Amino acid sequence: MLKKIFLFILCLAPWFLNNLIPVDYDYYKEIITPFFAPPQLFYGIAWTTIYIFITITTYNIVTNYKFKDIPKSYKITLLINYLFNQSFTLVFFGLKSNFLGFISCLATLISTLFLYLETKNLINKKANYLIPYILLGIFATILSLSIYLLNI
């Protein structure tokens, strides 16, 4: 049982590494945001939930397949999605670039769609845990584009 908990935490932990990046989170208060921008508390709750859902799918794949039997396409898609997801904090808050933030959101959304398909091929029912990630990705991309356009 402890081994399963440790493995789950090992799959979850990398998703929170972007929180270690020293950035200016007050930047969000300085920019013009659209009327539908949620309060900052929303982001912590939403992304924590999404990271748990991603981990559930990853954990199930890792526990149902030997690592060498997990398709290379899944591993690459997960890595690409992870990198784009993690890049947002650095480019939006660190570089204070609304345009690169939008590009990061869009790339994350596109790679999330591919991740969903790859996951569905491996563990069909557990892929549904990624649907909220897709929905949040759509919202984040629209929000990010709106922020970019409002702050040109």
pLDDT grade for 21, boundaries at 50, 70 and 90: confident
pLDDT grade for 40, boundaries at 50, 70 and 90: confident
Using CA atoms in the order 84, 89, 94, 97, what is the torsion angle rounded to 10 degrees? 70
pLDDT grade for 53, boundaries at 50, 70 and 90: very high
pLDDT of residue 25: 82
Q: What is the CATH number of the domain that holds 87?
A: 1.20.1260
Give the C-alpha separation, 140 to 136, whole Å.
6
Give the C-alpha separation, 74 to 80, whole Å.
10
Find out whether 147 and 101 touch, Cβ atoms under 8 Å: yes
Give the C-alpha separation, 125 to 65, whole Å.
16
Give the C-alpha separation, 5 to 71, whole Å.
24
pLDDT of residue 37: 96
Burial 28-65 (b: 16+ CB within 10 A, else e): eeeeeeeeeeeeeeeeeebbeebbebbbbbbbbbbeee
Q: How many domains does the chain have?
A: 1
pLDDT of residue 19: 81
State mean pLDDT over 62-79. Answer: 95
pLDDT of residue 24: 84
pLDDT in tens, 77-134: 999 999 999 999 999 999 999 999 999 999 999 999 999 999 999 999 999 999 999 9
Which structural domain, as residue segments, surrounds residue 30? 2-150
pTM over 0.85: yes
Model confidence at 1: pLDDT above 90: no
State mean pLDDT over 15-37. Answer: 89
